[in-house]
Every structure is written in C-alpha cells, then in structure tokens.
Amino acid sequence: MAFTEADIQNAMKQLTDPNTKKDFVACKSVKNIKVNGNDVSLDILLGYPAKSVWSEIQAMVENHLRSALPDAGKITANVSSKVVSHAVQRGVKLVDGVKNIIAVASGKGGVGKSTTAVNLALALAAEGARVGMLDTDIYGPSQPTMLGISGQPESLDGKFMEPMLGHGLQAMSIGFMVEGKDVPMVWRGPMVTQALDQMLRQTRWDGLDYLVLDLPPGTGDIQLTLAQKVPVTGAVIVTTPQDIALMDARKGLKMFEKVDVKILGIVENMSTHICSKCGHEEHIFGAGGGEKMCKDYGVEFLGSLPLDIHIREQADSGNPTVVADPDGAIAKVYKQIARRLAVKIADMAQDHSAVFPKIVVQNT
C-alpha cells in the first residue's frame, strides 16, 4: 500500500507533544516528510531545547506511525530543536547575539532567586541551548561565586568585553570588575543603570538562544528602569510560600505587567523542608501560596523546589545542583521548569525584524 505525505500529516495530527500539549502539526514541528515505497522518514523540529527527552519523543512518534500505518516498512523520525527570537516590549532596542532574554526576579531578597536563576540557566544549557547569564545585582553580585568563575573579562578590540565562561554558560557580572569580594559598590541609581546597560550591550554575546538576567530583589527605580530598557522576552517570579514573600512577589508581577513584559510563570522556592537526618517533610513556610497566586493572576505555576541544604552547599561551592548532581531529583525539577519556560517562550509571537532588509537612504 502506498502512503502519501498527507497520510503522515493526518497521522501526526493525532499525536500530542507531551511538553506543549498540542499536536505536532499544530506546533509546526513536522518537517521533511519523505515516502520511499513503504518506508517513511520525517524530521521533528521542536521550538524549544529538550535534549534529555529527544529519544522519548523519537520513540513515541515512530510507535505512533507504526500503529497508524500498519502496512508501513521502515519508519524513521529524527528529533532536534531550534530556538528562534521572540517579541519583546515595543520600542526597546534588541541585543546583538541574543535571541531571547529571560528576567528572573523576586519582590524581596532571601527567597533563593539567584540560586534559581543559575540552575535554570544551567538546565536550559543541559537541554541543548546556548545560554548566557547576566548578573544585574550591582550591590550584591553572586553569580561569579555560584558559577565558580574568577578573573576579569578581556576586551580584544577595546570596545566589547568577552563574556566569562563557567559550566558552559557565557557570563557577565560587576563582580568580575571589582577587586576583592569585600569591596562595596557605593553607587546611586543612574550610575547603576548605566553600568548594567554597558554590561548588557558591550558584552560580545556569542549566538545565545537565551540570556538569563538575575535581577536585584525589589521593585524600585533600578528594577523599573531595567524592565523598561532591557528587551525582555518574559519574566519569572521567584517566591516562597510565606505570606510576606508572596505579598512582595505580587508587586514584582504587577511591575512587569505595567511595562508590558510577559510573565512566564512563578517558581515557588523552599516549598518544603526535608530533614537530612530522618527524611521528615514539613511545610515550614506555609503551603500552596505560590499556586494560589498563580490562580489569582492567571499565570502559570512552573514548579516548586524544596529547602535543601545541598542546593545551598552546591551553589556556594561554584557547582550548582544541575551540574553537581545532574541526574538527581532536584536537577530533574529544574530541567522540567526550564523546559516549561522554553515551551512558554516558543508559544509567544516571534520577532520577525531580522527577516526584513534594512533600508538605507543615502545622498548621492
């Protein structure tokens, strides 16, 4: 029995991508269908990085087509990912070498925002994406320590700084530029925003799919200026289940809404404490607060992470959980959240500005 391309398309309309919850045809993931006699081959091009589940998706597609086309011979599905640029706030200049910018924010300090940011960045990289980390906390930069990076960035042309490298991430932080960890940055707001703009736009980012911004805590002038000047694809709010933290997280969410930045979702950190001695699990900061906040504001609950001493120890040692224990339960949660983030971004409107030619008018 001969098969047509339409038969393959129709069969793939009946199969749902477990990450996007849409069929593969609706996601525009089905490419290069080829029928050679009774043999069938096709490419599945995902719009999000998912290296850890490529083999699962391949097996799922091949098994589905064998069931849908019982007379088929050899069936081959090739799975890969390609991340494209997506739309940002209107009127904000894009950053060279960066496709998408994810801002990780919190309404208050002490909720584990920086630890969450670095592990999500590393999780996106583990899934096959090219990822950068920009530490925008001028007064308390922590990413150099968490990524285990020392030294200062170089400039090969006197104009742009080369990003520092740690665990496969391209990174930049004011912490690389001050001598000594105990030296305080005694700067006023305008100096801070100027320094951040320089780090963002004068770093030679190399073909990043995602640049993760570790924002300073709070919702003051610096955070608002950042949200207005930086071309952000979407923001992630980190909170704990504690009422005070949730109250401040709501302010952070509202701030992004005011400057037209899409909220990708909320991560609840320190949701439970697991005793390292007996394994007893307890909701010491309360329970269900992050999920309730998501329902109140119509945003997605991306996931929850425990209060675990290993997360803190690994970050402090320069080997965050995703690289220190890549196959562990907590790293698995970070990767699930990272995939969900990437899927949310892939669903957003694409940025087509690069498609159109630049028109230059010159006097001759």
Q: Classify strands 263-268 and 234-239 as parallel, antiparallel or unpaired.
A: parallel
- Residue 207: exposed, middle, or buried by beta-carbon count in 10 A (0-12, 13-18, 19+)? exposed
Position 206 confidence tier, pLDDT thresholds 50, 70, 90: very high
Half-sphere exposure of 245 (CA within 13 A, CB side): 25
Q: Of all residues in the chain, what percent carry a pLDDT higher than 90?
A: 43
pLDDT score at 108: 65
Q: pLDDT tens, 220-233?
A: 667 777 777 889 99
Per CATH, 5-81 and 98-346 having the same topology is answered no
Task: Choose the weakest-confidence range: 164-178, 279-293, 301-315, 336-350.
Answer: 279-293
Domain boundaries, the chain: 5-81, 98-346
Strands ordered across the beta sheet of 301-304: 164-166, 169-173, 131-135, 208-214, 98-105, 234-239, 263-268, 301-304
pLDDT the model gives residue 359: 47
Least confident of 118-127, 240-249, 304-313, 355-364: 355-364
What is the mean pLDDT of the segment spanning 242-252? 72
What contacts 193, CB < 8 A, 6 or more positions away?
222, 225, 226, 229
Q: What is the pLDDT of residue 356?
A: 45
CB of 98 within 8 A of CB of 132?
Answer: yes
The CATH fold assigned to 5-81 is GMP Synthetase; Chain A, domain 3 (3.30.300)
Q: DSSP character for 260?
A: T
DSSP string for residues in 75-89:
EEEEEEE----B--S
Residue 275 confidence (pLDDT): 67
**pLDDT mean over 329-345:** 93
- What does the alpha-carbon distance between residue 245 and residue 283 come to, in Å, rounded to a whole number? 15
- With 70 as the cut, is the pLDDT of residue 4 above it? yes
Question: Average pLDDT, whole number, for the chain?
Answer: 84
For 98-346, CATH number?
Answer: 3.40.50.300
Whether the pLDDT of residue 277 is over 60: the answer is yes
pLDDT digits (tens, 9 = 90+) for 290-335: 777 778 878 888 988 887 788 888 888 889 999 999 999 899 999 9
pLDDT tens string 97-144 = 999 999 998 876 778 789 999 999 999 999 999 999 999 887 778 888
pTM, two decimals, is: 0.87
User: pLDDT at position 281, please?
Assistant: 65
The token pair at 343 is 């899927």
Report pLDDT for 269. Answer: 81
